C-alpha cells in the first residue's frame, strides 16, 4: 500500500514536471535547430539563430530598453515603497488603513486596465508614448508590491532597534541610513529584484504605452507575426537564461542572508 502510493506519487510528480517543462524543453531545443522551422525533426545543433539574434540590432536595442526600464523603474518603485512603508509602519497616521488600501489597490487591477487608463491620461495631456511612459506604468504596478513586501518586514522588534539608535544619539536621517535601510536590505533587495523581473517580462502596458523604442516582450510579439521561427526560440532562450541568472543572483544575495539570520 505504502509502496503503491509512493510509486503513484512519483509517477504523478514526473508527469506534472514533464508537463511543466515540455514547452521550455521544446523552446530551448529548437533554438539550436539547423533547419528553418522549430518543429521536428530536429537537425542540429546549430548556433545560427543565436547569431541571427545577436546581429539583429532591433532585438538587441529592445533588450537594452527592457533592462533600462526594468532597472530604473524598479529603483523608483522600491524607493516609493520603502518610504511609504517606513512612514506607515513607524508613525500613527490619520486614516492609515485607507492609505494602505490606496497604495496597494493597483495590484488588484488587471494590467490591461492600468495600461488603458494611462493611455487615455497621456493622450489627454498630449504626453508622447515612450520608454518613460512605460516606466511610469511599471512603477504603478510594482510600487504596491515593494510597499507590501517591505511593510510586512517592518516589525515591532526593529522599531526597538531604531529607538536604540535614536537613544544613542542618531538623528532621523542617520537612523534611516545606518539602521533601518541596512536592516531591511533583504526585503528591499527582494522587492527590487521581484520588481525587475516583473517589469522585464511585462507586455501589455509596454505595448500600449510605447511607440518607437519598445521593450523586448513587445519586440518578441512583433516577431511572432512571422510565424514559427527558430529565431524566436533563440530570443526566448536568451530571455530565459537572463531571468535564471537574475534568480540565482537573488538566491545568493538576498535569501542566503535571510535564512542565515
Partner 1 sequence: MSTDQVAVRERRKAIGFVLPALVWTLCFFVLPFAFMVVMSLWQRIGTKIVHTWSLDNYAAFFAKPHFLQGLVNSLEITLSVTVISILLAYPLAWIIAMRIPERWQRAALILAILPFWTSYVVRSYAWMLVLARSGIINQSLLGIGIIDEPLELASTRTATIIGFVHFFVMLLTLTIYANLKQLSPNYARAAADLGAGPVRTFIHVILPLTIPGVMVGAFLTFVLCIGDYITPQILGGNKELVLPQIIMLQIGRRADLPAASALSILLMLVVTFVYVLSARWLKLERA
Partner 2 sequence: MTADVNIAGITHRFGSFTALENVSLTIGAGRFAVLLGPSGCGKTTLLSILGGFINPSHGQVFIGGKDVTALAPAKRPTTTMFQDYALFPHMSLRDNVAFGLRMRGNDRSSRHKRAEDLLSQFGLPDVADKRPHELSGGQRQRVALARALAVEPDVLLLDEPLGALDLKLRRQMQDELKDIQRRIGTTFVHVTHDQEEAMAIADDIIVMNAGVVQDIGAPETIYLKPKNRFTAAFMGEANFIAGAIAGQVGKSLRIRTAFGEHTVPRTTLLSHHPETVTRLDICFRPEHVRTDLKSRGALDLGPAQITDMAFSGTCHRCHLQVKDQTVTAHLRQNTTAKVGDTIQLQLDAADIILLPHEETA
Q: Indicate whether 135 belongs to the interface with partner 1 (CB under 8 A).
A: no
Question: From the list 75, 179, 239, 242, which residue makes contact with partner 2 (rule: CB under 8 A)?
Answer: 179
Question: From the list 54, 113, 178, 181, which residue makes contact with partner 1 (rule: CB under 8 A)?
Answer: 113
Interaction partner, residue 165 (partner 1, partner 2, none; CB < 5-8 Å by kind) = partner 2
Question: From the list 182, 222, 241, 251, which residue makes contact with partner 2 (rule: CB under 8 A)?
Answer: 182
Cell (9 digits) for 232: 524566436
d(CA 76, CA 55): 33
Question: From the list 35, 39, 105, 163, which residue makes contact with partner 2 (rule: CB under 8 A)?
Answer: 163
Which is nearer to partner 1, 5 or 57 (by Cβ)? Answer: 5
Question: From the list 20, 167, 225, 226, which residue makes contact with partner 2 (rule: CB under 8 A)?
Answer: 167
d(CA 171, CA 201): 40
Q: How far is the CB of 25 from partner 1 (least distance, A)?
A: 9
Q: Indicate whether 160 belongs to the interface with partner 2 (CB under 8 A).
A: yes
d(CA 143, CA 102): 12
Q: How far is the CB of 250 from partner 2 (least distance, A)?
A: 18
Interaction partner, residue 119 (partner 2, partner 1, none; CB < 5-8 Å by kind) = partner 1
Question: From the list 139, 150, 184, 189, which residue makes contact with partner 1 (rule: CB under 8 A)?
Answer: 139
Interaction partner, residue 83 (partner 2, partner 1, none; CB < 5-8 Å by kind) = partner 1
Q: Where would I find the H helices in the chain? A: 2-29, 48-55, 57-90, 96-104, 111-124, 131-152, 156-167, 172-174, 181-183, 185-201, 204-209, 216-224, 230-250, 256-260
d(CA 37, CA 231): 9
C-beta of residue 87 within 8 angstroms of C-beta of residue 156: no
Q: How far is the CB of 176 from partner 2 (least distance, A)?
A: 13
- Coil, helix or strand for 32? helix
Q: 10 Å Cβ neighbour count for 155?
A: 10
Amino acid at each position: 500500500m505504502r509502496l503503491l502510493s509512493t510509486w503513484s506519487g512519483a509517477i504523478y510528480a514526473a508527469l506534472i514536471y514533464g508537463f511543466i517543462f515540455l514547452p521550455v524543453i521544446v523552446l530551448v531545443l529548437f533554438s539550436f535547430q539547423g533547419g528553418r522551422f522549430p518543429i521536428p525533426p530536429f537537425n542540429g545543433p546549430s548556433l545560427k539563430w543565436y547569431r541571427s539574434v545577436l546581429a539583429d540590432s532591433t532585438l538587441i536595442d529592445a533588450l537594452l530598453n527592457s533592462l533600462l526600464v526594468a532597472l530604473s523603474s524598479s529603483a523608483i518603485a522600491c524607493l516609493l515603497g520603502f518610504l511609504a512603508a517606513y512612514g506607515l509602519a513607524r508613525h500613527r497616521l490619520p486614516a492609515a488603513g485607507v492609505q494602505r488600501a490606496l497604495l496597494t489597490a493597483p495590484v488588484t487591477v488587471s494590467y490591461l486596465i492600468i495600461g488603458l487608463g494611462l493611455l487615455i491620461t497621456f493622450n489627454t495631456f498630449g504626453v508622447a508614448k515612450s520608454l518613460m511612459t512605460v516606466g511610469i506604468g511599471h512603477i504603478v504596478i510594482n510600487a504596491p508590491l515593494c510597499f507590501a513586501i517591505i511593510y510586512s518586514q517592518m516589525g515591532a522588534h526593529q522599531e526597538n532597534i531604531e529607538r536604540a539608535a535614536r537613544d544613542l544619539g542618531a538623528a532621523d536621517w542617520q537612523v534611516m541610513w545606518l539602521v533601518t535601510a541596512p536592516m531591511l536590505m533583504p526585503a528591499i533587495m527582494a522587492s527590487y529584484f521581484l520588481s525587475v523581473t516583473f517589469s522585464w517580462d511585462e507586455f501589455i502596458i509596454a505595448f500600449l504605452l510605447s511607440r518607437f523604442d519598445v521593450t523586448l516582450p513587445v519586440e518578441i510579439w512583433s516577431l511572432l507575426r512571422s510565424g514559427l521561427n527558430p529565431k524566436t526560440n533563440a530570443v526566448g532562450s536568451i530571455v530565459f537564461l537572463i531571468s535564471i541568472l537574475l534568480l540565482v543572483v537573488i538566491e545568493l544575495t538576498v535569501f542566503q542572508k535571510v535564512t542565515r539570520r
